[in-house]
Structure 1
């Protein structure tokens, strides 16, 4: 690979020909490199990307994976994937050729990952092990779909770890009332928790709310965005899923309270966040309020579980609840099945009657 020096300013450049994705010959010129080596390395990387076959180093493939996948994902989703790739996958596979990674290599990698510990010195959780393996498998699947890899060695080996369903906890209305009474000394906290408990919205959805999202005439709030703190900046993204875009009816008392709250922000615009606080602030307030009220400390997300549990207790069916909280009805049925009254006795009695009728 040839590199050339620009005698006028002392920098280096490369100029070469390559075949593009249409099979046509193209010429490439790239200037401004400080050293000859940098110029040559850039040319080598460029040609490897254009060639993009399964003989490329795994590290190069990971870079292509980012270019292919990142534009389709929410930034916080990509950052999670990126952390796993950089800290759990590339250190083991970066210099191997993509096509040379075998099932045995994956088994060896799994055994090494199982030895790792977290910041507390404990073994990685079963759920996290499963997530790490799924990311490696996703990389190979992408290589199969796009770059012609023949086999996914991670799928051949099978997963490590297992899905861990987090314990679901919730507050009864009585418990929440005790808690909310303790929050009344800080209006922003009180009204934030009122929205979380009585509407069942997610934490990020709450923090993205603006005055323009409320229609007090029709007593609704529209959920169409989510708040994230990324790279030290406030970022507003689309909500978690397409199903999460929804309009929620608010009870009368909550409508009145939110009107009262929004009038406190006399200078707030239609698109300004009405809860200009952080997730860590809410977590701190959750601890403060639960201790003061003498109720068990639950997670912020458990307020969403509390809302769903309350609606189930009131006899509402999964489809109606799912529409309200932005879930699929099958998810409600599966995750909250233990809260629904059993129909087993009713079912067998019906079957008995059918059989008697036939006899």
Structure 2
């Protein structure tokens, strides 16, 4: 039931429910501006408690969200929730999950395609809906997942990456006047860090005597809050040797940044504030625009061009050898003819 709080001028709901142990309990929630908001909150709460396949998609989503919050990193949960709440929830929100058909899913998929989203984005969003409905099949009695009948959309393979040659990077970096952006681009290009890893660095993470960067964490901005978490994978925790000139650049940058402490973030930027300045300096330098993450790809391209093997590159950038071969394999020269020539030379001796 909903009631008006005359003193506060707001609405609240107060009702009984049976919890998972079979005990009858009372629930009250205050602070709603509108009566319909209080009723909606009560409805969703009771649907979640019932956990039946006729609950609405929104109630299922709340259960799914509560489940993954204890299992995934906060940044991963935030990424999933942003995707679902912007692209999935508006379409399926009030529909009982046992009434969602494959035809409904196809109609929703067609909207994603019509919106002109990238194939990889389409595939990711479709995967979020699929995961939520799989959750319902496994734990809440949904007979089958209509996503499996509807099929996939989009592609799991992104377009071929872009990267800078070393000459292009030198042209670009010469045009960067902001010292913070200058050191960021240099670390991304010459050390191959992910952007979040670079943004999480502190002076204490960099041993200028041993000439190494210790990568142990990553940075995210979540709902306006700066959040430092462990890196993407266990492989991401690594020590990256860096050249003398990069050590010198970092040393000068720290000395010239007033009041920087060992525990301060070396590069106090957020992910979303980097792309536009990068595009602007690309235009000034006459260098093609690439994504921030493609600077890391440029580092790998440089190492491949220098002849380093996949296993060393994987260790340096915090990935697996399989990942390096899958993503960058096309950059390695085809040496099959060289193998044949060397075998011929061996036999001809």
Scaled by the length of structure 2, the TM-score of the pair is: 0.84
Tell me the equivalent position of 1:28. Answer: 26
What is the SS of the residue equivalent to 2:172? helix
Find out whether 1:157 has 2:155 as its counterpart. Answer: no
Shift in alpha-carbon separation, 1:142–1:337, aligned structure 2, 3 A: same
CA distance in 2 between counterparts of 1:179 and 1:40 reads: 57
Closer, same or farther in 2 for the Cα pair 1:30/1:103, shift >3 Å? same
- Kept in 1, the 8 Å contact 2:100–2:146? The answer is yes
1:37-186 alignment runs, 5 A limit = 44-115=43-114, 117=115, 123-183=116-176, 185-186=177-178
Cα distance between partner residues in 2 of 1:164 and 1:348? 32
1:293 to partner: Cα distance: 3.6
Which digits, 9 at most, give the CA deviation of each residue in 1:68-87, with x for residues without a partner?
12343444433443233233
Map of 2:296 onto structure 1: 304
* Correspondent of 1:320 among 312, 318, 324: 312
Q: Look up the match of 1:120.
A: none
Residue 109 (structure 1) shift: 2.7
Cα pair distance change 1:321/1:14, threshold 3 Å: same
The equivalent position to 2:181 in structure 1, one of 179, 182, 189, is 189
Report SS of the residue matched to 1:234: strand
Alpha-carbon spacing, 1:92–1:249, altered in 2? closer, same or farther (3 Å):
same
CA distance in 2, matches of 1:31, 1:189: 47
Give the C-alpha shift of residue 216 in structure 1.
Answer: 2.0
Contact in 1 for aligned 2:64/2:135 (Cα 8 Å): yes
Provide, for residues 154-205 of structure 1, a one-character-per-residue CA deviation record: whole Å limited to 9, x for no partner.
Answer: 012211222351332222222222222233x433232222211110112222
- Please name the residue that 2:16 is paired with: 16
- Greater Rg over alpha carbons, structure: 1
Instruction: Rate the CA distance shift 1:209–1:38 in 2: closer, same or farther, 3 A.
Output: closer
Distance of 2:31 and 2:330 partners within structure 1: 64
Find the counterpart in structure 1 of residue 322 from structure 2. 330
Structure 1 residues 29 and 266, CA gap change in structure 2 (3 angstroms): closer
Q: Deviation per CA, 1:72-120, whole angstroms, max 9, x where unpaired?
A: 34444334432332333233322322122222332233234433x3xxx
> CA 1:214–1:155 in 2, change beyond 3 Å: closer, same or farther?
same
TM-score (norm 1): 0.82
Alignment of 1:239-278 (within 5 A): 239-278=231-270
Instruction: Kindly report the root-mean-square deviation, in angstroms, between the aligned alpha carbons of the 2 structures.
Output: 3.4
Aligned length: 344
Taking the aligned partners of 1:191 and 1:9, their CA distance within structure 2 comes to 53
The structural deviation recorded for 1:281 is: 5.0
Instruction: Say if 2:44 and 2:58, in contact at 8 Å, map to a contact too.
Output: no
CA contact (8 A) 2:57 2:92 kept: yes
Deviation readout 1:230-264 (Å, 9 max, x if unpaired): 33343333323332222111112222221222122
